[in-house]
Amino acid sequence: MNSIESPNNPNAVNPPEQTAAPESSAQSTPPETQAVADAAAPEAQPLAEEGSFGDVLRQFEAEHAAAEGQDSALEGVVVSVDEEAIVVDVGRKMEGVLRPDTPGLPAGIRPGTRMIVNITGRTEDGYYLLSTIRVEQPKDFSGLESAFQNKLVIAGVVKEMVKGGLRVEVAEGVNAFLPASRSGIREMADMVGLLGQQIECRISKFDVSNEERPDIVVDRRVVLEEQAAAARQAAFNQFKEGMVVDGKVRSLTEFGAFVEIAGGVDGLLHVADMSWNRVEKPSDLLTVGQPLQVKILKLNRDTRKISLGLKQLQPDPWSQMADSLKPGDKVKGKVVRLAEFGAFVEIAPGVDGLIHLSEMSWTKRVRRPEDVVKTGEVVEAAVLEVKPGEKRISLSLKQVLGNPWDIAETKFAPGTVVEAPVVNLAQFGAFVDLGDGIEGMIHVGDITREKRIQHPKDFLTVGQTVKAQVLEFDKEKKRIRLGMKQLEPTSADVFIGEHQVGDLLTGRVVETHASHSKVELAEGVHARCKHKEEAAAAEAGEGAADVGDLAAMLASRWKSGRGSSASDKGLKVGQIRRFKITAMDAATRRIEVESAD
């Protein structure tokens, strides 16, 4: 039987004069074979006479695939995704399929995702075989050398596993070595999954000095890393502040959680943005692998950092609390945190109020909040101020306790005698506890009459109970001044207790004045002695002038011709004479005498 004159038959002999005339080829084709070929593929080349109907169909499929643009880039839409295949609508009569482990697949593929694919063949069921690889495979050594020099990405087919890696066909009949470490596969057991797969790689070594055994090494890992980086950048570019995205918790730290919101793109969910309630540790709320929806709060395209929020998807409790609270309201809450300047009290989930140090006590200066409240303690406080815009509530602990100084004003009126323990000693005086947190101060000069002391510790000790008299009460300054020496009996008290009106005794004149003289009757005891003329004038009502008025009294004396000096009556400073007690007042410690000589 004659040879078939066709380019698909390598054994065919085509005379030059016949190859130029299509009708000569048609004439050499048997009629029965030509009929089948014409019916199956009008444009097909002539087949061998012994060719079967299956051969005709295979040839038709190959030529039909070429006519449909096989290996050309197409935009497809993902129809379904499962563990075995990704079905893609490529706009043809049949759909295409992708393996889930196909290299270069974009992250987050779901039904409706649009992607660029290539048709590489058909499955047994007639579906198109698809690939995401959009690079060409060099045809010969010159193409490989050009790809090496220009660092181009090329396509190759994994043929077999060899010691240390894989053998990859990078051109027709040309194999290259892919080291296991540069395959992009972490486990050696998983490398078998690459057999028969078309991969993208870059030539890292090209030595063809030995034509029989060319030394060509390729790198797939670097291509995968570049594709992953490009995919991350593409995913990052689609994000905007305020977007709500799906994510999965990748890892937990003390300060928050890293959430994967796209293939290779992570965002930080800070612990403060997890919940309106107080979260001590991220692990109390989240677990690794947990899916969740988050909101993009801040996005920095320069550093590619993304801040996420979870609580922002829930109503802000401050908006509700601001409408329900007003100054003067009383609230209860738990002390959640202590600071140098006060204590924070949680009065509602996610709403804290501050009790400043100055609002913790009426009666003492609080230096540390832990001196009054403890973390975890439930307290009642009064609302002082609400600032919704600043999310700030000022609270007062002392306002709900009542001001003890209101009661103290009547309880410790001047002249009141109190007994209280000494709680503190200072250079200038001693402090005593009057109850309800109120303290009184005894100045060092008011401690005793016995002697002059330099420091209260010379006379008092902490814890000692003392008796004192209220000398001064200042509500505005919250100050009570006390005195101890005012309760000690004086020399005048003793003298009055031991003498009576009418007693005669000896005294020394220490001062003289126009109307009276000052007489010392004993150590520390002084009396007032009126001049006899003044006493007589007072009794007789002499003159119209008021003797209580010093000017009128002096005028009266001038008219009567009497002198104004005490020496005219015989009283001089330093004289020792006898005197008679005419009056005594124990309350005022006042003693009056007259000359008995």
The ranges of the chain annotated as CATH 2.40.50.140 are 73-131, 141-229, 239-313, 317-400, 404-487, 491-595
What architecture does CATH give domain 491-595? Beta Barrel (2.40)
404-487: what fold? OB fold (Dihydrolipoamide Acetyltransferase, E2P) (2.40.50)
What are the tens digits of pLDDT across the range 227-255?
A: 778 777 877 888 889 999 999 999 999 99
**What average pLDDT does this structure show over 93-112?**
79
**What average pLDDT does this structure show over 102-124?**
77
**What average pLDDT does this structure show over 343-356?**
88
CATH code for the structural domain at 239-313: 2.40.50.140
Query: Residue written as tokens 């482990």?
Result: 101
Element (H, E) at 565: none
Q: How far apart are CA 102 and CA 395, in angstroms?
A: 62
- In this predicted structure, the answer to whether residue 2 has a pLDDT above a threshold of 50 is no
Q: Both tokens of residue 550?
A: 């010093």
Q: Both tokens of residue 46?
A: 């002539």
Q: Both tokens of residue 586?
A: 């124990």
pLDDT at residue 287, as a whole number: 92
| Torsion angle of C-alpha atoms 561, 565, 567, 571, degrees rounded to 10 | 110
pLDDT at residue 64, as a whole number: 47
pLDDT confidence bin for 72, thresholds 50/70/90: low
Give pTM, 2 decimals: 0.43
**What average pLDDT does this structure show over 129-140?**
76
Q: Do the beta carbons of residue 398 and residue 361 sit within 8 Å?
A: yes
pLDDT at residue 263, as a whole number: 66
What are the tens digits of pLDDT across the range 354-377?
A: 999 988 887 777 889 988 899 989
Q: Name which CATH class applies to 141-229.
A: mainly beta
> What does residue 151 show for φ and ψ, rounded to 5 degrees?
55, 45
Strands 215-219 and 392-396: unpaired
> What does residue 308 show for φ and ψ, rounded to 5 degrees?
-115, 160
What are the tens digits of pLDDT across the range 530-549?
A: 887 655 555 555 444 444 45
CATH code for the structural domain at 73-131: 2.40.50.140
Say which DSSP state 105 is in.
P
Percent pLDDT > 90 in the chain is 30
Element (H, E) at 267: strand 265-270
What are the tens digits of pLDDT across the range 407-428?
A: 788 888 888 899 999 999 999 9
Number of C-beta neighbours around residue 61 at 10 A? 15
pLDDT confidence bin for 291, thresholds 50/70/90: very high
Query: Of 533 and 44, which is predicted with more confidence?
Result: 533
Mean pLDDT lowest among 123-127, 336-340, 457-461, 547-551: 547-551
pLDDT at residue 103, as a whole number: 60
CATH code for the structural domain at 317-400: 2.40.50.140
**What mean pLDDT is reported for the chain?**
79
- Cα of 82 vs its chain's centroid, Å: 42
